[in-house]
Amino acid sequence: MGIINRSIVVFDFKNFTKTSKILNLVLTKPFGGYKMDNRNDRWSNKQIRNHVEVLDGVINPHMILKNATYLNAYLHQWFVANIWVYEDRIVYVGENLPENFNGCEVIDCQGKYLVPGYIEPHTHPDQLYNPLTLAKHAGRFGTTTLISDNLFFFLNLPTNVAFELLNEFKSIPSSMYWWCRFDGQTEWPNKDDIFNAEDVISWLQHESVLQGGELTGWPKLLKGDNRMLSWLQEAKRLHKKVEGHFPGASERTLAKFMLMGTDCDHEAMTGQEALTRLKQGYTVSLRHSSIRPDLDILLKELIGLGVQKFDRFFFTTDGSHPSFYENGMTDELIKIAIHQGIPLMDAYYMASYNIARYYNMEHLHGSIATGRIANINILESPHNPTPISVLAKGKWIKRDGKDNNDSPTIDWNKYQISPLHLKWTLQEDDLSFLTSMGINLINNVITKLYESSIDLSSDELSLEHDECFLMMVGRDGSWRINTVVKGFAQHLGGFASSYSGTGDILIIGKRKTDMLIAFERMRAIGGGMVLAEESHILHEIPLPLTGIMSDLEMGFLIKDEKKMKELLKERGYKFNDPAFTLLFFSATHLPFIRLTPSGLYDVKNEKVLVYPTKRENYQMQ
């Protein structure tokens, strides 16, 4: 929503024509160039007139889903109806059929069950995959709408370029919406410049942005960060939601964030934590992800606590990495809910209607009803939520079990998203490790400070323990932080990754020569993950989209990721998602010790323990 400059809305009857043109410009093109009321601007007046003419018989629908047993979200019943689709919109649901079927595809749905396309309310669309490949893969399993993190675009692209890309995403079959981050979940020396008010407000005002958050910087908000609080208030003024991030929060803390304007939280890890959020007025997003596969226990405990009403709950996979989605996405969560005894219709609402209603887009999504976008899943049985056919914006993306491979592509270079081009390399003296303070990896993402007692002056560490050299090097090559990590692997030669939470380079290993080999290979392929051992490359995952995202179709990427995980586990990685470990080395919204551009950082005490080393003459000639 834009801001009207009242100083120029002055009626001058002597120059009415001129003044009215200015007034019209202000009312329709406010700050940021977006309309003030975008609720109904998906379709133009001409398109809406065409939709009406379909019912008048002037224009024929392009598709009829005949004899369809569909889930009615408003009456909580299955009904049989004929569903008319014109272009990307459902124009009629009822008993009637058109008089003229010319040019109309008629599909007899007798014996099938139709439910709304599923909605994933919390995706991180740059978790090795990219937004396009994620959307395509999710669509095959019936998730036709994604609400995604903007952090990658916020950090890497000028705002105007990012908005052009968001507009291009509108052309794909899936429906794409976005969040607006208020912090970068790490410690940057110039964080206030990165997250400046102009860019944050511009994102919040964008028509495709549905919420602010997630609030990974919640401790600062709680301690008095009024700038962040003002952004929450701006989100509320724009009638948009705010997503929390409150793991382990007490009832009192949850109440405080509710007072500040938070609407939802996805960090409940027990049924009691979910119930506490609900009692404080939150909508509760129940998470089931690669590092927090909690949905079974959450639902079992909620039922045990006497919860019988589920209209303020919904599901999320919280941006898991590719292999977690091998067998499905939201459909897998619906299966879990049905298995745990959630009423069948509630299980589907928690994946569709509840989310659409929460985000104030029920007029477009979440139900099979007149006027909605034609996102429809066709099921063989209501007890099997994996669809055999999927319509997204009125187009088949899956038909009778076969995927439609005719999907759009994006010229990423057009949007300044290209292979990583490092204009620097590492020298031998960069691999000098002087500090004994390091990171002890407790699980996939939780760390503690520890003091290493091993000799770090050698070029190779013993394979008898699980301590490795660990480096973070600034993407521009101007600085580095050298430390040690315990618990990542025991038999690791060298591993390099441009995939990290800050976009800087991570290098881990026992053998300095293998670490350099892995780094050089990662640099040569334009970014990615590279594993080296005994001077040979064992495996690599190229990430040619800025060193963060792959351009591979999801099926191929899943194979690459699974092989990397297998190789790392063979070398002593004992958790289940090494990509999350890499991503969260820098994440200051998690305890306790983090590797950030500001240095080795003590989260609890907000203190830098080891400062970065400035690299001299690092650029290649």
Three-state DSSP class for residue 326 = coil
Lowest mean pLDDT among 100-104, 253-257, 334-338: 100-104
Range 120-134 burial, b when 16+ CB lie within 10 A, else e: bbbbbbbbbbbbbbb
Residues 337, 458: one domain? Answer: no
Number of Cβ atoms within 10 Å of the Cβ of 5: 11
Residue 594 placed within a domain: yes
Amino acid (1-letter code) at residue 235: A
Distance separating alpha carbons of residues 63 and 85, to the nearest angstrom: 5
Residues 104, 156: one domain? Answer: no
pLDDT (average), residues 521-538: 98
CATH number at residue 279: 3.20.20.140
Helical packing angle, 197-205 and 226-237, nearest 10°: 20
Q: What is the pLDDT of residues 121-144, one digit of tens each?
A: 999 999 999 999 999 999 999 999
Q: Given 412, 440, 465, which residue is the final one in a domain?
A: 412
Residue 620 placed within a domain: no
pLDDT of 519 above 90: yes
Could you list the residue range(s) of the whole structural domain that residue 68 is in?
45-110
pLDDT (average), residues 397-420: 93
Q: What is the pLDDT of residues 552-605, one digit of tens each?
A: 999 999 999 999 999 999 999 999 999 999 999 999 999 999 999 999 999 999
pLDDT, residue 619, reads 76
Residues 320, 446: one domain? Answer: no
pLDDT, residue 406, reads 78
Residues 479, 402: one domain? Answer: no
CA angle (92, 97, 103) in 5-degree steps: 90
pLDDT, residue 617, reads 79
DSSP letter string, 209-237: EEEEE--TTHHHHHTT-HHHHHHHHHHHH
Predicted TM-score (pTM) of the model is 0.93
Residue 7 placed within a domain: no
H or E element at residue 516: helix 512-524
pLDDT, residue 394, reads 97
Residues 159, 105: one domain? Answer: no
pLDDT (average), residues 141-155: 98
Backbone region of residue 557 per phi and psi (left: phi > 0; alpha: psi in -120 to 50; beta: other values): alpha
Residues 103, 122: one domain? Answer: no
Lowest mean pLDDT among 26-30, 42-46, 389-393, 458-462: 26-30
Q: Which residue has the tokens 């026992």?
A: 510
Residue 15 placed within a domain: no
pLDDT, residue 281, reads 98
Distance separating alpha carbons of residues 537 and 175, to the nearest angstrom: 40
Q: How many domains does the chain have?
A: 3
Spell out the residues 6+ positions from residue 310 whose beta carbon is closer than 8 angstroms to its own: 342, 343, 346, 349, 350, 354
Amino acid (1-letter code) at residue 94: G
pLDDT of 449 above 80: yes
Asked if 530 and 537 count as a contact pair (C-beta separation under 8 A), the reply is yes
Residue 6 placed within a domain: no
Residues 218, 353: one domain? Answer: yes
Phi, psi of 500 (to 5 degrees): -155, 170
Distance separating alpha carbons of residues 435 and 452, to the nearest angstrom: 9
Residues 394, 451: one domain? Answer: no
pLDDT, residue 23, reads 34
Residue 580 placed within a domain: yes
Q: Which residue has the higher pLDDT, 466 or 16?
A: 466
Would you state the structure tokens that stand for residue 453, as one six-digit string? 């007692």
pLDDT of 19 above 50: no
pLDDT (average), residues 33-50: 69
Confidence of residue 151 (pLDDT cuts 50, 70, 90): very high
Would you state the structure tokens that stand for residue 20, as one six-digit string? 């009215």
Residue 521 placed within a domain: yes
Write the DSSP symbol of residue 406.
Answer: -
Q: Given 75, 110, 145, which residue is the final one in a domain?
A: 110
Cis peptide before 214 (omega within 30 of 0): yes
Residues 102, 123: one domain? Answer: no
Asked if 392 and 375 count as a contact pair (C-beta separation under 8 A), the reply is yes
Q: Which residue has the tokens 């400070």?
A: 449
pLDDT (average), residues 73-85: 98
Q: Is 319 exposed, middle or buried (0-12, 13-18, 19+ CB in 10 A)?
A: buried
pLDDT of 32 above 80: no
Number of Cβ atoms within 10 Å of the Cβ of 609: 15
Q: What percent of the chain has pLDDT over 70?
A: 93
Distance separating alpha carbons of residues 2 and 85, to the nearest angstrom: 34
Residues 518, 393: one domain? Answer: no
H or E element at residue 188: none
Residues 336, 444: one domain? Answer: no
Nearest to 200 by CA among 185, 187, 184: 184
Distance separating alpha carbons of residues 353 and 355, to the nearest angstrom: 5
Q: What is the pLDDT of residues 66-77, one digit of tens each?
A: 999 999 999 999
Residues 604, 472: one domain? Answer: yes
Residue 248 placed within a domain: yes
pLDDT, residue 41, reads 63
pLDDT, residue 26, reads 36
Q: Given 92, 110, 128, which residue is the final one in a domain?
A: 110
Distance separating alpha carbons of residues 76 and 310, to the nearest angstrom: 13
Spell out the residues 6+ positions from residue 112 whose beta carbon is closer than 8 angstroms to its own: 68, 69, 378, 379, 380, 388
Q: Which residue has the tokens 């081009």?
A: 421
Would you state the structure tokens that stand for residue 118, as one six-digit string? 């599923």
pLDDT, residue 428, reads 87
Q: What is the pLDDT of residues 186-232, one digit of tens each?
A: 999 999 999 999 999 999 999 999 999 999 999 999 999 999 999 99
CATH number at residue 92: 2.30.40.10
pLDDT, residue 4, reads 31
pLDDT, residue 21, reads 36
pLDDT of 328 above 70: yes
Distance separating alpha carbons of residues 564 and 575, to the nearest angstrom: 13
